[in-house]
């Protein structure tokens, strides 16, 4: 296993927001690895060891979509001034639904 100092460095870096120029909302092991001087599999192993899943963090994340503002205006516009006989549907992903793994099998938590 990687020494404690390097693990602390990875964990600390994981808690910080990635630089804006990366255009992502959270770290991936492949993005973080070169910044901490490790291979991405080592970063992933540290995360696994400590039970960290940055992609499943339950805090608000800003979208990096450059078209976000226009899309939000379109959706809000439908709610505020819908066309005649229009139906507005809202679809929300089910976060507690089991995810599918490879070959049609469910992943274990």
SS3 per-residue string spanning 6-43: HHHHHHHHHHCCCCHHHCCCCCCHHHHHHHHCCCHHHH
The per-residue pLDDT for 28 is 92
Inter-axis angle of helices 40-50 and 29-36, to 10 degrees? 110
20-40 per-position pLDDT tens digit: 888 888 899 999 999 999 999
Determine the 3-state secondary structure of 100 from DSSP.
strand
Which DSSP category does 88 fall into? -
Q: Is the pLDDT of residue 14 over 80?
A: yes
Domains with residue ranges and CATH for the chain: 1-92 (1.10.10)
């Amino acid at each position: 296993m990687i020494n404690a100092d390097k693990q602390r460095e990875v964990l600390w870096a994981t808690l910080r927001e990635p630089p804006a120029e990366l255009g992502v909302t959270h770290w991936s092991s492949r993005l973080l690895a070169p910044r901490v001087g490790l291979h991405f599999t080592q970063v992933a192993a540290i995360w696994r060891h400590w039970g960290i899943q940055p992609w499943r963090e339950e805090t608000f994340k800003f979208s990096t979509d450059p078209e976000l503002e226009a899309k939000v205006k379109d959706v809000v516009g439908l709610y505020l001034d819908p066309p005649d006989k229009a139906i507005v549907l809202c679809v929300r992903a089910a976060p507690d639904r089991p995810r599918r793994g490879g070959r049609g099998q469910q992943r274990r938590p």
